[in-house]
Copies of this chain bind each other. A is one copy, B any other.
Amino acid sequence: MADAIRALAIDAVEAAKSGHPGMPMGMADVATVLFTKFLKYDAADPRWADRDRFVLSAGHGSMLLYALLHLTGHAGMGTDELKRFRQLHSPAAGHPEYGEHPGIETTTGPLGQGIATAVGMALAERMMAARFGVSLVDHRTWVIASDGDLQEGVSHEAASLAGHYGLSKLCVLWDDNHISIDGDTALSFTDDTLKRFQAYGWATRRVDGHDPDALAAAMAWATRSRKPVLIACRTIIGLGAPTKAGTAGSHGSPLGAAEAAAAKEALGWTAAPFTVPDDIKAGWEAAGRRSAGTRRSWLKRLAKHPQQGEFDRAIAGRLPESWHEALAALRAKHAEEKPKLATRVSSQRALEALVPSVPEMVGGSADLTGSNNTNVKGIPAIAPGNFAGRFVHWGVREHGMAAAMNGMALHGGIIPYSGTFLVFSDYLRPAVRLAALMHTRVIHVLTHDSIGLGEDGPTHQPVEHLASFRAMPNVFVFRPADAMETAECWELAVKRADGPSLLALSRQNLPALRTDTGENRCARGGYVLAEASGPRKATLIATGSELSLAMEARAALEADGIPTAVVSLPCWEIFAAQDASYRDQVLGSALRVGIEAAIGFGWERWLGADGIFIGMGGFGASAPAEDLYRHFGITTDAVTAAVKKRVA
């Protein structure tokens, strides 16, 4: 049966003239044991909520996954799809792409991401089980990982988290083939990997990756473990290929016609390309139905379960009906009280309204809980052995956190949000990119969002981070200016179901600028906060902490007889999606001045050829915040002077 995987991988890579045959050929035996004996799934319903999750962390071996989906009888992965491996619009893309086929649990390819995402899935399983009980939530997470996955730093962060929380239903099958692209892994990689994982609190074992009985015994042992499990499966990459097996030559390019034919001969595989003999296919399809009865029993349990509606709602990602009532009340309160708060504190107020109303929201912080203000009073944190909580202490592990958050969102039933400093978003960027690509709902609370953080200096002061994420497709970057906008942006972030949202929040206090409570004005991405008293001579466009500075400058300019409008632009991506007439009306045709305590890169879009940008020209410095604003010339005076020079 495993040879069917090998043959299909050879055929698809040959047809595409591109791809990675070595890994599917090497791991075919491991995958066969997993998919025919252990993995709980039903090919008839790949989205069954209580299925085991399977993550191919070594995403370059995508043909392994496609072959498995095909062989086990999943709809939408027929021979035609395999023949179009790596072609435009094929679900059989170069690397597994979430959304291309329901049997693909997550997008993989960037090494280390899959294993870290799987940790989030396994954590979500425990938390959902704590909420809904094991009669509804009781499944495992299986991962196939490569040497490269384990070399990446994010694997350390994720494995350490899994060990800490004791995620015993997680099993990583390591493709221990001693080969990476440069050659023998010993060129650069001589860790005692099992010992490393033991140090994290994992159970580990070695097994011959081509011995089905030994593999079955090891996987059975894994299902009994009280710790997360790493099984080192000693394999031969490209097994079957007569000259390339066991070498990097089988890793990332087609075997070539001659070697492909010889490989099939060596395997005794005589079927035509893309063809699987009926008896073998029947065996695979039976494996694909193995858990059908288990699924039917589960469906019956669900139908009778008192929390059925809530479970379905959470899994589907639909918000509770009254989810934003408390938030609406908070906005009304802000309008009345006009609180002067750091937006990170305003964010905490918003969370105090949201989190009790949205039971699937799960918060956290990368060891900056008190600084990110992501915790909510009365909402307990999870702890090893106790998953009845809704806050995660992620430790100083931004990357592992963000990748695990992706896994929680993909698992379903959880809307993860978490926190670190905006400057450290660089650490978690690869995981945000995957969230954007996968359209997953994760929310990153990124505080200390400018030189306004003061004395910690340039290592801690983001200047290019807003631009760097505005450049990333499908990411919403919110930078609210006061408590009201913060509540509005939180509403938009939670409502957004098709991609990640980042909230850039200030460390320093900011005055209230808004007292209206009707519509969510941030919902258009940008709006006129204060119109000019006459025909506009200038439009000051600002975000976040600089919006109040713009208002002060407006007051000074108006006092000097220069009609000036102020535009708030809390979310560029949403604003860009408005129709042109609205955007033109907001931005106006007068002199435009952009004000943001960050690099101006990208601001030209809103300022036009004649606009002025007032912000940072380089990295920050270590000093009290007020000194820095003065030092870098981001002041009311600088704005008024620049305007006067042009409109006088």
- List A residues at the B interface (Cβ < 8 Å): 16, 18-19, 59, 86-88, 90, 93-95, 97, 107-112, 147-148, 151-157, 160-161, 163-164, 180-182, 185, 187-193, 195-196, 198-201, 365, 367-371, 381, 383-384, 393-400, 423-424, 426-427, 429-430, 433-434, 436-437, 454-460, 463-464, 467-468, 470-474, 599, 601-602, 604-605, 608-609, 617-619, 621-624, 627-628, 631
B201 pairs with A396, CB closer than 8 A:
no
Task: Given contact pairs A199-B199, A464-B471, enumerate 18 new A-B contacts (beta carbons under 8 Å).
Answer: A18-B624, A19-B455, A90-B622, A93-B621, A94-B457, A95-B459, A110-B423, A110-B460, A112-B396, A148-B396, A152-B398, A180-B396, A182-B370, A187-B395, A195-B195, A471-B471, A601-B602, A604-B604
With A and B bound together, what is the CA distance between A112 and B367 in angstroms?
A: 14
**Whole-angstrom distance from the CB of A34 to the nearest CB of chain B?**
23
The residue in chain B whose Cβ has the minimal distance to the Cβ of A598 is: B471
B110 pairs with A181, CB closer than 8 A:
no
Looking at A16, A156, A433, the one whose CB has the most chain B CB atoms below 10 A away is: A156
With A and B bound together, what is the CA distance between A181 and B396 in angstroms?
A: 9
**Whole-angstrom distance from the CB of A603 to the nearest CB of chain B?**
8
Chain B residues lying within 8 Å of A398, measured Cβ to Cβ, are: 152
**Whole-angstrom distance from the CB of A332 to the nearest CB of chain B?**
33
**Quick one: which of B95, B153, B367 contacts A154, CB cutoff 8 A?**
B153
The residue in chain B whose Cβ has the minimal distance to the Cβ of A467 is: B471
A394 pairs with B459, CB closer than 8 A:
no
With A and B bound together, what is the CA distance between A458 and B473 in angstroms?
A: 11
With A and B bound together, what is the CA distance between A200 and B16 in angstroms?
A: 40
The residue in chain B whose Cβ has the minimal distance to the Cβ of A92 is: B622
Chain B residues lying within 8 Å of A152, measured Cβ to Cβ, are: 153, 157, 396-398, 427
Given contacts A97-B622, A621-B93, contact A199 B189 (CB under 8 A): no
The residue in chain B whose Cβ has the minimal distance to the Cβ of A631 is: B88
Looking at A93, A163, A400, the one whose CB has the most chain B CB atoms below 10 A away is: A93
Looking at A18, A112, A196, A628, the one whose CB has the most chain B CB atoms below 10 A away is: A196
Given contacts A199-B191, A396-B147, contact A604 B605 (CB under 8 A): yes
B619 pairs with A474, CB closer than 8 A:
yes
The residue in chain B whose Cβ has the minimal distance to the Cβ of A399 is: B153
**Whole-angstrom distance from the CB of A438 to the nearest CB of chain B?**
10
The residue in chain B whose Cβ has the minimal distance to the Cβ of A158 is: B153
7 A-B pairs closest in CB distance: A153-B153, A156-B156, A188-B395, A109-B459, A93-B622, A604-B604, A467-B471
Q: Can you sample 8 A-B contacts with CB below 8 Å?
A: A59-B459, A86-B457, A86-B624, A110-B424, A153-B156, A163-B190, A182-B370, A427-B430
Chain B residues lying within 8 Å of A109, measured Cβ to Cβ, are: 456-457, 459-460
**Whole-angstrom distance from the CB of A66 to the nearest CB of chain B?**
12
Chain B residues lying within 8 Å of A429, measured Cβ to Cβ, are: 426, 429
Given contacts A109-B460, A395-B189, A400-B153, contact A426 B437 (CB under 8 A): no
B153 pairs with A397, CB closer than 8 A:
yes
The residue in chain B whose Cβ has the minimal distance to the Cβ of A398 is: B152
**Whole-angstrom distance from the CB of A152 to the nearest CB of chain B?**
6
Given contacts A88-B631, A153-B399, contact A199 B188 (CB under 8 A): no
A87 pairs with B623, CB closer than 8 A:
yes
Looking at A19, A367, A474, A624, the one whose CB has the most chain B CB atoms below 10 A away is: A367
**Whole-angstrom distance from the CB of A134 to the nearest CB of chain B?**
25
Given contacts A156-B153, A193-B199, A471-B602, contact A180 B148 (CB under 8 A): no
A181 pairs with B367, CB closer than 8 A:
yes
B608 pairs with A396, CB closer than 8 A:
no
The residue in chain B whose Cβ has the minimal distance to the Cβ of A604 is: B604
With A and B bound together, what is the CA distance between A424 and B433 in angstroms?
A: 11
B599 pairs with A471, CB closer than 8 A:
yes
With A and B bound together, what is the CA distance between A455 and B16 in angstroms?
A: 9
**Whole-angstrom distance from the CB of A507 to the nearest CB of chain B?**
11
B619 pairs with A473, CB closer than 8 A:
yes
A397 pairs with B108, CB closer than 8 A:
no
Chain B residues lying within 8 Å of A464, measured Cβ to Cβ, are: 468, 471-473
Chain B residues lying within 8 Å of A383, measured Cβ to Cβ, are: 187
B195 pairs with A199, CB closer than 8 A:
yes
Chain B residues lying within 8 Å of A599, measured Cβ to Cβ, are: 471, 473
**Quick one: which of B110, B393, B430 contacts A188, CB cutoff 8 A?**
B393
A180 pairs with B367, CB closer than 8 A:
yes
**Quick one: which of B191, B457, B605 contacts A95, CB cutoff 8 A?**
B457
**Whole-angstrom distance from the CB of A573 to the nearest CB of chain B?**
11
With A and B bound together, what is the CA distance between A369 and B251 in angstroms?
A: 14
With A and B bound together, what is the CA distance between A151 and B601 in angstroms?
A: 33
